[in-house]
Amino acid sequence: MEEAHGDDTFSLVTGPFRSYRRTLEVRPGPAGRHEVTERTEFSLAVPLWGPVVRPLMARALADTDRHPRNRWWWSAEVVGHRTSELIGALCVISVMAGYLGVVIGQTITFAAADFGRTDSAQANTLAATRIGVLVSVLAIHRADRIGRRPLILWFTTGAILFTVAGAAAPNLAALGATQTIGRGLTTGLITLIMLAATEEAPAGSRALAISLATVSAALGAGMVVWVLPVAGAADGGWRVVYVVPLLFLPVLWWVARHLPETRRFDAAAEVGAPAAVNWWRFTLIGAAAFLSSIYLSPASQLRNEFLSDDRGFSAAGISLFQLVVAAPAGVSIVVAGRAADRLGRRRVGAVGVGAGAVLSAISYQVGGLTMWLTASVGVILAGAAFPATRGYSTELFPTRARARVGGLLDAVTVTGSAVGLVVAGYLSHRWDSLGDAITVLAVFPVLVAAAILFLFPETAAVELEAFNPDDPSLDPENGGASSGGLRADATDPGIDGGLPEPQPSPDSHEPTADTIAGS
């Protein structure tokens, strides 16, 4: 949003910029017409991601049609400096969380071989690391008292240090012990990242904000795959993967300066808003999380073991498979976030969860090109479901209870993960087939897909305060909540709605040529 200073200069009222200035130069032209040259100078409030976003923003600002249009890479609503900076910083930390969250799953095959342990021992170790969620459950509620920012920084630092400690593990039990704490902190960190992004984003762009954080986490997870070939290069090569997070510490120190507190937390803390939890909503979301994770955890974390033992893949082959299969999911997650904001959470979420699980399960029963294709499409659909469904754990609960609820849901989800891993390990030993053991568990996310479609409320484009009427209603921008959302009766959350039409800039001339300078 701009304000005019005379007829030829415009400054920023609100937007995702640290600085912004647009000027018009009008010169006489032929036949009594005028030639207008526009120049826009700006500096984005998007920490670290500027080189990626700046060319896109420059191209958008160079458009002679000053009427904003929806673009897949940006919110259709007004996003202020603070919101832009916070979500950008969260995406940086999401890269770290993505790496830290998959280290044990990606390396345990090689660590177990180094220590002479079986498939069942691997599954049990992965299940045991889930106990670490108690660390985050016991601490995460503090985010409802002191804020999201301090806990995000503390959890990230702790997760890095305990992951690095795993590089010195003398046996599988010690590795599991360090990862129990490290992964527990990472689980809480991801919850806080998604909570803060959902809490801060405009009403019609919450799923998009989640998708951006998710893609960033996927990038971090992919970094593990980049390093993974080292695990097969020599005995103990997997330990290098655990040392890499040391490089995150200086980046974390830098990004901490660009991470503000969420506006909703500040407002709720100021007025002492109530924190009553709707336990029916919690039960519904918790049951879905539990059943989904029974399948998702063994399907993702035992994939390397399946490829190694059942398909004869080398470490480099596994790395290539993971990269090729997961690569398309990055774009699909962003597209799905946009779709979930436009079409609604339920339809996008149900299709992603159900169809994604079915195709993933099929990939464990086939080989060759069919395995690659079904695994890839399954990952794409599962990724598409995440931005549609993750927001429920934040949207349906009051500000001063969101972290506490998130921690409890983490505990429920991790319990489902542990159950799934133990059952998959037991069945794979009993049937002598890891693929069959994982496939039979796919029935659970199919049930969840039906629940999402028929039991979950629709939350797209509805302000959070509509579901939590005791929370303070905030003014748009700077001190307040996101603009452009719909207010809904709190007793009737199933509302469909669109986004407001953006307004054009108050130009007094229609430019015929643009020159854009971004810094």
CB 45 within 8 A of CB 18: yes
Position 476 scores a pLDDT of 52
Segments making up each domain of the chain, as ranges: 2-71, 81-467
Cβ-count burial of 65 within 10 angstroms (0-12 exposed, 13-18 middle, 19+ buried)? exposed
d(CA 197, CA 337): 13
**What pLDDT does 227 receive?**
85
pLDDT over 70 percentage in the chain: 88
Quickly state the pLDDT bin for 39 (edges 50, 70, 90). Answer: confident
CA angle 103, 108, 112 (to 5 degrees): 155
Query: pLDDT band at residue 153, thresholds of 50, 70 and 90?
Result: very high
pLDDT at 233: 67
Backbone angles phi, psi at 481, to 5 degrees: -75, 170
pLDDT of residue 36: 80
Q: Is the pLDDT of residue 495 over 50?
A: no
CA gap 512, 518 in Å, rounded: 20
* pLDDT tier at 118, thresholds 50, 70, 90: low
Distance CA 359, CA 387 (A): 19
> For residues 303 and 16, what is the distance between their CA atoms, to the nearest angstrom?
41
Instruction: Indicate if the pLDDT at residue 249 is higher than 80.
Output: yes
pLDDT at 518: 36
Between 162-171, 266-275, 279-288, the lowest mean confidence (pLDDT) is in 266-275
Q: Which residues lie closer than 8 Å to 388 by C-beta, 6 or more apart? A: 207, 336, 337, 339, 340, 345, 346, 348, 349, 352
Q: What's CA 356's distance to the chain center, in Å?
A: 18
Among all chains, which residue has been given the structure tokens 């509620």? 141
* Torsion angles phi and psi, residue 391, rounded to 5: -65, -20
Residue range 411-448, pLDDT digits in tens: 999 889 889 988 988 898 888 888 889 999 999 999 99
Q: Which residues are within 8 A (CB) of 415 and not within 5 positions of it... i.e. 6 or more apart? A: 130, 290
- CA distances to 119, 306, 364, 429, 435 from 367, rounded to whole Å, are 21, 12, 8, 21, 11
What is the structure's pLDDT at 33?
80
> Please, what is the average pLDDT of the chain?
83
* Nearest Cα to Cα of residue 114 among 240, 236, 242: 236
Average of per-residue pLDDT across 490-519 = 34
Closest CA to 291 of 140, 81, 442: 442
4: pLDDT strictly greater than 60 = yes
Query: What's CA 426's distance to the chain center, in Å?
Result: 32
Using the predicted structure, report yes or no on whether residue 477 has a pLDDT greater than 60: no
H helix intervals, 201-326: 206-227, 229-233, 239-243, 248-256, 263-271, 279-301, 303-309, 315-326
Q: Which pLDDT belongs to residue 151?
A: 96
72, 332, 343, 360, 467 from 335: Cα distances, Å: 7, 5, 12, 20, 26
For residue 505, the model assigns a pLDDT of: 37
pLDDT at 68: 53
Predicted confidence (pLDDT) at residue 501 exceeds the cutoff of 60: no
Q: Determine if residue 367 is left, alpha or beta; phi over 0 gives left, psi from -120 to 50 gives alpha, anything else beta.
A: beta
Average pLDDT over residues 299-304: 83
In this structure, whether the domain defined by 81-467 belongs to CATH 1.20.1250.20 is answered with yes
pLDDT at 489 over 90: no
Tell me which residue has tokens 């794979």: 428
Query: What is the phi/psi pair of residue 350, to 5°?
Result: -65, -45
Per-residue pLDDT at 467 exceeds 70: yes
* N-term to C-term CA, the chain: 19
Average pLDDT rounded to a whole number, residues 374-386: 89
Helix (H, G, I), strand (E, B) or coil at 514: strand
The H or E element spanning position 123 is helix 119-129
Residue 13 CB neighbours (<10 A):
12
Pick the residue with more confidence: 11 or 346? 346
Task: Give strand pairing partners of 38.
Answer: 24, 514
In this predicted structure, what is the pLDDT of residue 484?
Answer: 38
How confident is the model at residue 66, as a pLDDT?
55
Provide the pLDDT confidence category of residue 198 given band limits of 50, 70 and 90. Answer: very high
Taking residues 24-50, what's their average pLDDT? 82
Confidence of residue 137 (pLDDT cuts 50, 70, 90): confident
The answer to whether the CB of 458 falls within 8 A of the CB of 346 is yes
Q: Where is average pLDDT lowest: 42-51, 283-292, 388-397?
A: 42-51
Q: What percent of the chain has pLDDT over 90?
A: 40
Decide if pLDDT at 148 tops 70: yes
The pLDDT of residue 492 is 34
Burial profile 225-243: b = 16 or more Cβ within 10 angstroms, e = fewer: bebbbbbbeeeebbbbbbe
* Structure tokens, 230: 């080292």
Whether pTM > 0.85 for this model: the answer is no
